[in-house]
Chains A and B, each alone.
Chain A
Amino acid sequence: MIKTPIERYPWPLADSVFRYSANVEPARTVRTTAAGEWGGNILDIDEHYAETVALRLSIFDAEPERCRILPHMDVAAWDTLLFCLTELAATYPESMHLDRSGDTYHWRNDLLDITADFEFGVESSLPMPPLRFAATQLQEDIVLLDQREGRLFADGVALSFSGTWSNTFVVGMGFGDIHGPVPRIHENGMVSRTEQFLMNLVPGENYRRTSWVIAVSPRLDMSLEQFPTWGADTLRRITEDGAYGETRLRVEVQHSVRLPTSNAVLFLVKTHLCPLADIVTVPEWASQLHAVMEELPPDLVAHKGFGEFREEILDWLRERVAEHTIAAGRPA
């Protein structure tokens, strides 16, 4: 089972009230939580590395359109590869190595036992296209945004582990259109503000944000492409059994990087999963999550994934909060 332990969990809530906001902060800022800390790196390799990469490859093999670029994104794909390998080698110097001699690079990944010699920009020098090669070295999903005529367009994707949206439908879409289904953020100007922010990014100054949802499935791949194979059954099982401890607090840590050579924006998404049963062992998290979920207005409840069982999961959370209160010796 793929999960991130609470000691490293990227706790996404800052307050007892949640609304969508442009909650960006500089990358690599270490955050202390009630259970530990997270956030020191842009690319995050964990104990599920090999398993995650193998899963991603099987998804790309079955659905090749989930890893593809529009033809004008070839430079951005190479840019992505070089950024990611450079970043991995700098973050994990004991197991990742990138050496350069002119245009030729030598890559060694001891954790996956992969070596490659490639010439920058020459596709025949790699065993697979550069974006796919990059995706096989990372646990993060990738969206490549082209910037032109004062807008951003999602013109390349390597998406295997997205939430409940279509990875293939968005290719070529503008930034505002991609976010079409998200409630409230268009009216309050947040989408255009965020797009403006991303268009002002410069190489070397990288930013991140988090996003969360309550997920009924323990799967990393919750894309709409795969929804028919798991969606309805999983929901029925959770609600019939009242197994709310098995739902996941699903958190995305999203990084935005200006790629230097192509001037494209690289959007990286690492998905973290943790069962609510684990989350509620931390008293502060149990009460904060309960407060946030209880206060959330209906349109956001639906978008946060628990519209089908709001009352039930709130009851379940309230009981967990009460248990902590009793254990702490305070009156319930």
Chain B
Amino acid sequence: MADVFVAESIREVSPDVKEFTFRPAGPGAVLRPYAPGSHIVVEMSGKANAYSLTGDGTTADGYRISVRRQGDGGGSAWLHDRLRPGDSVRLSPPRSAFAPVATAKHHLYVAAGIGVTPILSHVRAALRWNRSFEVVYGYSAAGAPHLEDLRRLAPGRLFEAAGRGRLADVLAERLRQQPVGTHAYACGPAGVMTAFQELGGSFGWPEERLHVEHFAAPEREPGEPFTVRLASGRAVAVPSGTSALDALAEAGVAVPALCRQGVCGQCRVDVSAGIPEHRDLILTSREREANDCFYPCVSRAQTDELELEL
């Protein structure tokens, strides 16, 4: 459900980081408000990458992302080298997987390197909604994207750390000094996120108050292709990225369905041979192990073929 947007402006924010601002262009494309820490997926000639939005979520100034150039063949190189102001790209609507906790008494934001992008969004939203917060920003000598923005936005509550060793010290100090009720959020290289969780844990932080940004959203994998065989002996191919429910409908076999999310249970189909890959929220673990039914709206197959009682 990606829509067409146009790159309105492109600017360099540090030697290997460019900021892109997008405005709606195609039919149906609109700027949707989003929760701080949300990302959009940018589609580029066969590739699709997720990037964090850096605004406060009210989208008054378009969708804005900052992208660090990594390697030559990937999406970031395409954005850096190919995309020009005025060019069109397809963008998915924002998705949130790193939202602030509304009940927090105080927010500690931790950014390292290009991990600063979702943190910038959090800081802007915190200012808009008067949230109590502070920021730790670790950067390298090679570049500190948006450092000036953070200095301007969070004077007196920005803790800078130049270099990995210094970041560990600052992080430890800030994690130790938080009032009860603080939630902490980190985005950066895997090593920094691990250190963040280990340090927090060693200082007695409850796990559920230490949030890390996993770049990919928890969306369902498209899955491997498989075949379903009907009682009549007829075979229906289910390609990757297509649900068995849709593949069956396409083949003229309508299975009654409601939610299409593996929740309501309406589309249950009995399985007589083969092992389903259960991805629903309905079956208990014991029911799953029986492997005698599945929900074709979300579930797939571990075996090449599933025999259905349809």
Contact = CB atoms under 8 A, between A and B. Distances in A.
A140 to B, nearest CB: 20
Nearest to A24: B259
A267 B95 CA distance: 20
Given A204-B93, A260-B32, A262-B35, A73 B102 contact: yes
B32 A121 contact: no
A263 B36 CA distance: 9
B263 to A, nearest CB: 4
A21 B128 CA distance: 41
A220 interface: no
B264 interface: yes
A231 interface: no
A227 interface: no
Given A22-B259, A102-B60, 13 more contacts: A21-B264, A23-B266, A24-B258, A24-B264, A25-B258, A121-B128, A148-B101, A148-B102, A149-B208, A193-B281, A204-B93, A261-B58, A262-B35
A21 B60 contact: no
A286 B261 CA distance: 33
Contacts of A193: 263, 281-282
A197 interface: yes
Interface string B84-122: 000000000111100101110000000000000000000
B93 A22 contact: no
A155 B103 CA distance: 10
A72 B102 contact: yes
A72 B100 CA distance: 11
B260 A26 contact: yes
Contacts of B101: 148-149
Interface string A267-298: 00000000000000000000000000000000
A69 to B, nearest CB: 10
Contact of A260 (B35, B129, B258): B35
B72 to A, nearest CB: 33
A197 B266 CA distance: 15
10 contacts: A22-B259, A23-B264, A26-B259, A75-B102, A75-B129, A196-B263, A200-B261, A203-B95, A262-B102, A264-B102
A146 B103 CA distance: 9
Contact of A103 (B58, B263, B264): B58
B264 A22 contact: yes
Interface in B234-264: 258-261, 263-264
B45 interface: no
Contacts of B129: 74-75, 121
B33 interface: yes
Most chain A CB within 10 A, of B102, B263, B265, is at B102
A120 B60 CA distance: 11
A203 B93 contact: yes
Contacts of A264: 102
A82 interface: yes
A263 B259 contact: no
Nearest to B218: A200
A194 interface: yes
A207 interface: yes
B281 A197 contact: yes
Most chain B CB within 10 A, of A75, A194, A261, is at A261
A321 interface: no
A103 B60 CA distance: 7
Interface in B49-91: 57-58, 60
A72 B103 contact: yes
A231 B210 CA distance: 49
B34 interface: yes
A76 interface: yes
Nearest to A260: B33
Q: Closest 7 interchain pairs by CB? A: A263-B99, A72-B102, A197-B263, A263-B35, A25-B258, A260-B33, A24-B259
A202 interface: yes
A329 B260 CA distance: 43
B232 interface: no
B102 A25 contact: no
A146 B260 CA distance: 24
Contacts of A102: 60
A115 B209 CA distance: 42
Contacts of A261: 33-35, 57-58
A76 B102 contact: yes
Given A24-B258, A76-B102, A264-B102, A203 B264 contact: no
Interface string B263-303: 11110000000000000011010000000000000000000
Contacts of A200: 261
A189 interface: yes
Contacts of B34: 203, 260-261
A197 B32 contact: no
Interface in A104-139: 120-121
Nearest to A201: B261
Contact of B265 (A21, A155, A203, A262): A21
B53 to A, nearest CB: 11
B297 to A, nearest CB: 12
Contacts of B263: 22, 24, 193-194, 196-197
A263 B258 contact: no
A22 to B, nearest CB: 5
A25 B284 contact: no
Most chain B CB within 10 A, of A76, A155, A200, is at A200
Given A21-B264, A103-B60, A121-B128, A260 B102 contact: no
